Structure formats: structure tokens, C-alpha cells
Structure 1
Amino acid sequence: MTPTNAAGSSGADPTHLDPRTVEAYFLLGAQAAFPLHTDPQIVMRILPQQEEIELLTPAAGPDPDVTALERLDFSRIVIDGGEWFRLAVSARDMHYEAYVLMESVVDQMKGGAAFRNAVSDAVHSFKDLLAGRRGLTDEAARGLLGELLVLEHAIDALGEAPAIEAWLGPLAEEHDFAFEGFDAEVKTTKSESRTHLIGSETQLEPEPDRPLYLVSIQLTRAGLAEQGFSLAEVVARTRARLDQTLRAFDAALQGLGWRSADADLYRTRFQLRSTPRAYLVDEAFPAITSGRLDQVVPQRANVVSVSYRVNVTDLDPAVIPAPLDDFCEVPA
């Protein structure tokens, strides 16, 4: 069974379809398949139910790289024992534009271009159509990874419900965690020194009568190391530990900009460069806070945003209470 016969050929001339004809095929609601070329064999299918247009051609050469594109999906499939490339474009709200994109791929293949090159050139020409998938920034992804490592440990120590309740990072509160006896601000870096970005003057300002600890996590690339982990892997294994709080966890991730559909964007695997350390944020800690700025900055109200980096490498780490006492290094 060829791809054309499997879909049910329409019998229309597929050389070029005008916008009205393309729209008519989507309105019909039934799949329509068009053989477009014989050497190499190329079949286009309009899939109204999925709001997609797809191209099928026998697999030859390297795969195209469309991972970071929102509307394109590529896979290899088996038809009659042979391997085929399948390229699909989401045509929702832009049926004809999606058709023209696929037509561009076909035209270049007819001219002798390899499938990968044809897709690459078409993508470049239609970059406004194909909105890039925007994952978290590297800084935000590392920050979330560090928080999840702490959350995993808290789940093991406290159980899922108390751990999820203590995790305040997704709620845009001043500190990432509020445990029973203290608050914790988690900072994660890839640098050899424990240098961390502090995003505001309130981030390292303790609440009244609440000890605040900065938890410093250092990561390094893991390569193929068995103990390595990617952000996607940590999200997946954290979800696997949850039952009654799974919905709250997923909502929290979504609020932080994580989308499960983008998990494949987070391929970099890390491992701990060192054991995490905790630092008590007290009067001697080098923090820029609202209270300190109020004392020294003239017309303080006009300073509307503060961010800075602090290097805690040479500071003395502190003993942090449970449940993070065995997550962080115990000072000598």
C-alpha cells in the first residue's frame, strides 16, 4: 500500500493549488493525498482532522533539524517495509501558508536538493510562519533545575504534600522555599566559583524572625556520565514521585514557563560540580537589601530595580536545619 492509496487520492491536479482550493480540502474534512513527484517519490497529504499538511518521501540522507520550530514535526515511519521521511506542518489558522511552505520543499527537491537541504531552505524563507519554540533561558533553566533538586530532597524527607507546600518559587514570593523553621533561596551556577545572580533587593532580605539561607548549587556538564541529569529528566522523575500533588506541581511548572511539549529542548545533562553549601544571610552577609539601601541611597524611591552578583566561595558555610541538613555540605 503506497502512501497515496492509504490516504485516498483526490484525483486533483496537485501542481499548484490556489487558496480557495486548499481551504475547500480542509472544509471537506476527509484526508486528501497528492502524488507530486516520482523520482524521488513525494506525496503530500492534507489532514483536516489534525489541521496538518504532511509530506512523505522515501528516507534518504540525514534528517532535517526542526526541533526548535513550533509548527513543524519530523519523524521516520515505515510503509510497506520501507523507511520514509514524514514532515508535518501545523496549518491551524493558516491553511494556505502551510501549503505554500510544503510546496517550497517539493519544488527544491524537484530541482535536485536533498530533503534536509530543501527543508532548511524552506524554513529560512518562511521563518515568520514558523514561530521558534522558545524554551526557558539558560539562567532560568538552571534556576529551575536547582530548585527541583532541592524539592526532590524535600519530598524524600517530608513527603510530597509538605514539600510542595514549602516550594514558593513558582508563586513569585521573595524566597524559593519556606520550611517550618527557616527560608531558603536556591541559587545555581555553572561557574567554577560560587558566584550567583541576585535579581532584586528583596531576594536576600530575611523575613522578621525567620532565618534565611542561601543554598549554593554548582553544576557542570555531565556528558555521558551515568550520574548526569537534564532538566527534562529531573522534571520527569519528580513527577513520578507525586500522587495527590501532581496537578499542583504541573501548574507550578507551567507558571515558571515550563512546557512539557518543549522537553526535548533541554538536552544538556549536568552533574554536581561540588556538594551544595548553605550560607546564613545575616548582618555579615554581603547582600544588597531594601533596608540597607534605605540607609545609604539618597532619594531611595527613585531606585526602581537592583540586581547584582555575589561570590560566596570564600565565605564560611553554615549548618542548615532539616530537611536540608543532609542535602548541603556539613562545615568542617
Structure 2
Amino acid sequence: MKTSDDNPTHLDPTTVEEYFRLGAKTAFPLHSSPPVIMEIDPGREEIELRTPVAGSEPEVTSLERVSLSRIRRDGADWFRLVVDARDMHYEAYVLLESIVDQLKSGASFRHAVSEAVASLKDLLAGRAKLTEEKILGLLGELMVLNHTIDGLGESGAITAWLGPLAEEHDFAFPHFDAEVKTTKSESRVHVIGSETQLGPEPGRPLYLISIQITRAGLAEQGFTLPEVVRATRARLDQTRRTFDAALEGLGWRDSDADLYTVKYQPRSTPRAYLIDDQFPAITSARLDQVVPQRTHVVSVTYRVNVTDLDYSAIGAPLNDFCEAPE
């Protein structure tokens, strides 16, 4: 990447993500007078700005994601400003770019940092994307929802989708309930978030729907979360507002779509596992039987590996979504 003061370079979100995917540190000059160097460190998920010490230090101690130090470089002292860019690669870049813009206009480093932080504080606080766990979970539920639209129509599918309503199970179909779990791992290892998540309702069969996806890189068949959201919304007419409200409740915002640049693709065909007496689930009923003073256990989270368990046939509308047993 080449830059000059007469021809400044602005990186778009996709390019910033490409630098983070390189896996190696990348440093490049952004200004010559005063010298300013930016470095992207994918391993630490940090972006730093270095410039020779001039004037007093900026005040950054109150900022959780920003740190300042002095380093010795080429016989001179330099300021080293580091931004923790986890889950906000582009926002971190925009902050440092704003500092450089202030420096180019003649501002001191202290003033440049102060102005950039003040102008971008609301942006940085308000544009945090979903965690990867939540991204995977939402992708899995939308995959099931899209398939369900084919079988039940949009009204039936949206009504069956209980995940955004914080109910015990993600979907309640006419003849069974389904808990959707999505993982990036090579094994079908899933996080169960409570003792009730795999507890069937009386008279209602419950299935764990195991979905495996993996990063797609530049594969044409890959899909990002925003692409799946848009594709699903495009299939809806009468229920679009309900769908949008559900997404908002899950933490999705259309205005943050540019933050989600990772592409995924299926790793395998989904499988359905019937939650019966032989399934290794930690449930309230089982805890009641074996845990002394059970009422004092207030939270249960565990991982279950279903890779080698027998998977099941499942009825409509997921009969042709999940792999049929041999």
C-alpha cells in the first residue's frame, strides 16, 4: 500500500478486513511531516499509530480500548497509540485515520487524539457487532427459517420461530419442537446454555438440529450474515415487520451490516437428534434427582458432542433439511 500527503489513501471496510486476514503484521506510512506510521497486527487484533514525540501526551487513561506508551526508535522518542480492534476492526481504523487527518491540518498529537476520540465516541460505543457465537446462532436459525418458509409459508414459518422471543426452544412446529445449534468446529460440539434448553415439553418431541458451517474465504457459494438477512427479508411480505423486530431483539442492526464481512459455507448436511432418555442432556429433572440442595444451582452451561451419536429421522418441514439416517 502506498500513500503520500498529496494522495492520501482511505481504506474501505473490506480492505481493512483483508489486512486482518493476512495473518502477519502490516505497517505503512500515512504522513511524512510529522512522520506517522500505522501498523495492523492481526494476531493481537490491534491497530497502532506511531509518531515522534512532540508536545504533551494525550489523555487516554479513561478509554478502555486505547493505550499510549513511548518507544525508542531511530534514536528518538515516539508516541505509540494502540487500539484494541476486537469486534471493531473498521471502527479502530477510522479512529486512527481521524487522528492523522487532524495531524495533517497542523494539530498537536494531544489535540488530534482528543478531537478524534470526542467526535467518534458515540460511533465507537454504538457500533459493536454481535459476538461470533451469536452470529453463528443467528445464521443457523435463519437457515432453518428459510427452509421452513418453503414448507409452511412465511406466516407459518415466522409463527414457528420462537428464538427471538426467548422461549425455551427455537422453533415450535405442528408436531415437534426444535433447538437449533450451529458450530464451526470439525466435530458436532454445541454449547447448551441452560438446564431447560434440552428439556422437552410434555407430549412434545424435541430435536436438537446440529448445523456445521465453516469460513468460506473467497468461495463463490459463501454467504455473510447480512446477505442471509437480506435474502430472508426479500422472501417476506406480510411478516416483514415481525421479522425485523425479531432481528432487532437479537441485536441485529441493518446500519451495522458493513461490520459483518466474514463469509461462511456449510461444512456438512444438518442432522437431527431426538432428545430422549438416552441423550446426554443436563436437564432440570435430572439435576433434581442427583444434586443435593438443588435450588442453590442457579445456572448451568455445558458442551455436548453429538458427532458419534445416532441421529434421527425428522418430520416436515425439516425432513428434507436434515440428513436421513442410513
Structure 2 match to 1:186: 180
CA distance in 2, matches of 1:272, 1:66: 22
Q: Which residue of 2 aligns with 1:269?
A: 263
Shift of 1:150: 0.1
Q: Aligned match of 1:242 in 227, 236, 239?
A: 236
Seen in structure 2, the aligned counterparts of structure 1 residues 104 and 180 have a Cα distance that, compared at 3 Å, is: closer
Write the deviation string for residues 79-102 of structure 1: whole angstroms up to 9, x where unpaired.
xxxxxxxxxxxxxxxxxxxxxx99
* Structure 1 match to 2:318: 324
Equivalent-residue separation in structure 1 for 2:205 and 2:265 (angstroms): 29
SS at match of 1:238: helix
Aligned to 1:159, what secondary structure does the other structure show? helix
| Closer/same/farther in 2, CA of residues 119 and 64 from structure 1, 3 Å limit | farther
Match for residue 221 of structure 1? 215
Question: How many residues get paired?
Answer: 241
Q: Mind listing any 5+ residue stretches in structure 2 that lack a counterpart?
A: 17-95
Secondary structure of 1:328's aligned partner: coil
Distance 1:256 1:109, change over 3 A: same
Tell me, which stretches of 5 or more residues in structure 1 are unaligned?
Answer: 1-38, 41-57, 69-100
The yes-or-no answer on 1:286 pairing with 2:276 is no
Which letter maps to 2:167?
Answer: E
Is the 8 Å Cα contact of residues 215 and 277 (structure 1) preserved in structure 2? Answer: yes
Q: 1:1-332 alignment to 2 at 5 Å?
A: 60-63=8-11, 106-111=101-106, 123=116, 128=121, 130-132=123-125, 133-332=127-326
After TM superposition, give the deviation of residue 128 of structure 1 in Å. Answer: 4.5
Contact 1:214 1:280 in 2 (8 A): yes
Alpha-carbon distance between aligned partners in 2 of 1:125 and 1:66, rounded to the nearest angstrom:
25
2:174 alignment partner AA: E
Give the letter aligned to residue 124 of structure 2: A
1:66-118, CA deviations, whole angstroms, 9 ceiling, x for partnerless residues? 999xxxxxxxxxxxxxxxxxxxxxxxxxxxxxxxx9996554003599xxxx9
| Inter-partner Cα distance in structure 1 for 2:252 and 2:168 | 20
Partner-residue secondary structure (3-state), 2:320: coil
Q: Superposition RMSD on alpha carbons, in Å?
A: 3.0
1:67 & 1:61 partners in 2: Cα distance?
A: 11
* Counterpart AA for 1:247: R
Amino acid at match of 2:160: A
Moved over 2 A (4+): 58-68, 101-107, 110-113, 118-132
Q: Which has the larger radius of gyration?
A: 1
Amino acid at match of 1:218: Q
What CA deviation, in whole Å up to 9, does each residue of 1:203-255 have, x standing for no partner?
A: 00000000000000000111121211111100000000000000000000001
- Normalization by structure 2: what TM-score? 0.68
Q: CA deviation at 1:135?
A: 1.2
Contact 1:215 1:279 in 2 (8 A): yes
Would the alpha carbon gap of residues 108 and 235 (structure 1) be closer, same or farther in structure 2, given more than 3 Å must change? same
Aligned partner of 1:18 in structure 2 is: none
Q: Distance in 2 between matches of 1:295 and 1:164?
A: 37
What is the identity, as a one-letter code, of the residue corresponding to 1:312? V
Describe the shift of the 1:243–1:314 C-alpha distance in structure 2 as closer, same or farther (beyond 3 A). same
Residue identity opposite 2:258 in structure 1: D
| Counterpart contact for 1:152–1:238, Cα < 8 Å | yes
CA distance in 2 between partners of 1:65 and 1:157 (Å): 37
Q: Is the 8 A contact 1:67 1:265 kept in 2?
A: no
Percent same amino acid among aligned pairs?
Answer: 65
Q: Displacement, 1:149?
A: 0.1
